[in-house]
Amino acid sequence: MLVGTSHAGNIGACARAMKTMGLRRLVLVAPQQFPDPEATARAVGAEDVLSDAVVCASLDEAIADCQLVVGTSARDRRIPWPQLAPDEAAERLIRAGHDQRVAVLFGRERTGLSNDELDRCQLLVNIPTDPDFSSLNLAAAAQVLAYELRRAFLRGRPSPPAEAEPLGEPPATAADIQRFYAHLESVLTETGFLDPANPRLLMRRLMRLFNRVELTANEVNILRGVLTAVSQYQNHRRES
Amino acid sequence: MLVGTSHAGNIGACARAMKTMGLRRLVLVAPQQFPDPEATARAVGAEDVLSDAVVCASLDEAIADCQLVVGTSARDRRIPWPQLAPDEAAERLIRAGHDQRVAVLFGRERTGLSNDELDRCQLLVNIPTDPDFSSLNLAAAAQVLAYELRRAFLRGRPSPPAEAEPLGEPPATAADIQRFYAHLESVLTETGFLDPANPRLLMRRLMRLFNRVELTANEVNILRGVLTAVSQYQNHRRES
């Protein structure tokens, strides 16, 4: 999935990068210009990937039914966040892709993915670059990830189906998780722990914690049950 | 080394691909057009690699002082020839590069390296692609090789101490975590969500969830802050 791409040529080059590695499902979130002749020119043989591309207005719409969302990002040591190497991320994606919907997000050419967008990722992947010049072209980054996905695919899929769902339960979808976060934010605001004027830092820490755990659908239900109980208990006391 | 490149834009993109991975020495063998504004435009920050590029009229001149020459080629099963995967080739190049001059050759956009040129290579490397669509862009191929060279270079160095704490924060101790679970159980009981007569099943599910995440000490503090806020809010309402 390409988020907010500025240069249509990069969309075409990404389509070509994907197709060389056997990938076909391209999703464009709010592209600045698409379709575009420059995209078609750079696709060179991957025009079918372009014409089948799904265009979404928002990231939430694009990832709603995805169960594993991996974001690409430059290394950032200011905020603790687990970052995988491309080969590790590819391994996870291929394994999960057996029976789950998975997505890899690539951000804007100049600014990458926003913090809000990164908050929606269970995992982050970082392509190792020279720290003095880490300006990877978007299509070049897509090519490296696509290459690692193909390598992981060719290495075979040794894990039995049981491995794919280590908890024996289906993972939550991105839409389930977004609803849980909204619920959490509202209950934390209600209790006064969260300052609605500045909710982001705390929510970000909590989202990063829960993104790491790769929640199952059932766990999201339990957590939302806890939130509902806290909220009802408070309302009950308020009324009595 | 880029041999007989047709599109100057690809030369710029290759320079950028190299520089992101810490490579600097670009050699152009009989480029169709260089220097060229399109090359400069696509270099985006790697103009120094372009301006330092050496232009040679012939491949023999370019590789004269090289001790290991690796050629990139599409897989060709007609002629038996040892072909390495990119990671294996990178390993060989980095190892030899300690005390030898090494080169990687990339051929023309449409036709690759000629048989005469391949004859000058000690090793061939092939990037695995989908056999149905193996049309890798020149700069994309250079990016994959440059990425594997960087990985091989980094593998050869001791891993940084930061690896020990992937989140950049110390992990919580078992005692911290047990205190958090006790706190969680008491607040959930207070809200009525947890039946004290039979708390185990729910607590087990929640503990299983939080154990999976490998909480940091800081995250445990945040979570306990949430629990305290919920509890105080309830007591406050009770007293008022």
Q: Which residue of B has its CA nearest to A213?
A: B213
- CATH number assigned to the domain comprising residue B25: 3.40.1280.10
pLDDT digits (tens, 9 = 90+) for B153-172: 999 876 554 444 556 678 88
In a domain, A201, yes or no: yes
Q: How confident is the model at residue B20 (pLDDT cuts 50, 70, 90)?
A: very high
> CB pairs below 8 Å between A and B: how many?
160
Locate the chain A residue with the closest alpha carbon to B141: A143
- CA A13 to chain B, closest CA, distance in angstroms equals 8
- Considering the domain architecture, whether residues A129 and A31 belong to the same structural domain is answered as yes
B140, B235: one domain: no
The answer to whether residues B93 and B211 belong to one domain is: no
Q: How far is A103 from chain B (nearest CA, A)?
A: 20
Q: Is A161's pLDDT higher than 50? A: no
Residue A55 Cα, gap to closest chain B Cα (Å): 24
In the structure, what pLDDT confidence band is assigned to residue A21 with cuts at 50, 70 and 90? very high
pLDDT tier at A181 (50, 70, 90 boundaries)?
very high
- Residue B137 and residue A192: Cβ atoms within 8 Å? no
Q: State the average pLDDT over residues B66-80.
A: 78
* Pair (A131, A226) in one structural domain: no
Question: At which residue do the structure tokens 């036709």 appear?
Answer: B111
Q: Considering B157, B184, B212, which residue would you say is the last residue of a domain?
A: B157
Residue of B nearest to A188 (CA): B226
Residues B24 and B87 both lie in one domain? yes
Instruction: Inspect the interface and report whether the beta carbons of A193 and B229 lie closer than 8 Å.
Output: yes
Q: What is the pLDDT of residues B203-222, one digit of tens each?
A: 888 988 888 888 889 999 99
Mean pLDDT of chain A: 89
Say whether both B83 and B131 belong to one domain: yes
CB atoms within 10 A of CB B36: 17
Give the gap in angstroms from C-alpha A70 to the nearest C-alpha of chain B. 17
Instruction: Tell me which residue in B154, B167, B233 faces A234 most closely, judged by beta carbons.
Output: B233
Q: Is residue B165 part of a domain?
A: no
Please give the structure tokens belonging to residue A47: 């025009």
Position A57 scores a pLDDT of 97
Last residue of a domain, one of A138, A164, A190: A164
Closest CA to B71 of B131, B113, B18, B17: B113
In a domain, B21, yes or no: yes
Report the pLDDT averaged over residues B100-114.
Answer: 94
Q: Of all helices (H) and strands (E), which one includes residue A96?
A: helix A86-96
Is B187 contained in some domain? Answer: yes
Question: What is the pLDDT at residue A34?
Answer: 97
Instruction: Return all residues near A108 (Cβ < 8 A) that are at least 6 apart.
Output: A3, A4, A5, A6
Same domain? For A214 and A188 the reply is yes
Q: What is the pLDDT of residue B77?
A: 55
Q: What is the pLDDT of residue B204?
A: 84
CA A102 from chain center: how many Å? 8
Q: Choose from B185, B191, B205, B235 for mutation: most chain A CBs within 10 A.
A: B191
In a domain, B202, yes or no: yes
Q: Which of B167, B202, B220, B227 to mutate to test the interface with A (most CBs of A within 10 A)?
A: B167
User: Which residue is closest to B143 within chain A, CA to CA?
Assistant: A140
pLDDT for res B212: 80
Judgement on whether residues B192 and B77 belong to the same structural domain of the protein: no
**Pair (A75, A109) in one structural domain:** yes
Least reliable range by pLDDT among A69-73, A162-166, B148-152: A162-166
pLDDT at residue B89 greater than cutoff 70: yes
Total structural domains in chain A? 2
Nearest to B135 among A20, A188, A191 (CB): A20
- Taking an 8 Å cut-off on Cβ atoms, the answer to whether A226 and B21 are in contact is no
* B181 plus B149 within the same structural domain: no
Is residue B162 domain-resident?
no
Contact state of B234 with A238 under an 8 Å Cβ cutoff: no
Q: Are residues A152 and A196 in the same domain?
A: no
Tell me which of A128-137, A212-221, B231-240 is least confident.
B231-240
Report if residue A169 sits inside a domain. no
Half-sphere exposure (CA, 13 Å, Cβ side) for A234? 20
Contact criterion met (CB < 8 Å) for A188 and B22: no
| pLDDT exceeds 80 at position A238 | no
Note the pLDDT of residue B175.
Answer: 85
Q: Does residue A41 fall inside a structural domain? A: yes
Of A212, B176, A75, B207, the residue nearest A204 (C-alpha):
A212
Domain span at B137: 2-157
Percent of chain B with pLDDT over 90: 60
Average pLDDT score over residue span A6-32: 97
- Domain stops at, among B88, B122, B157: B157
CATH assignment of the domain containing A221: 1.10.8.590
Q: What is the pLDDT of residue A68?
A: 92
Better pLDDT: B78 or A121: A121
Q: Does residue B69 share a domain with residue B13?
A: yes
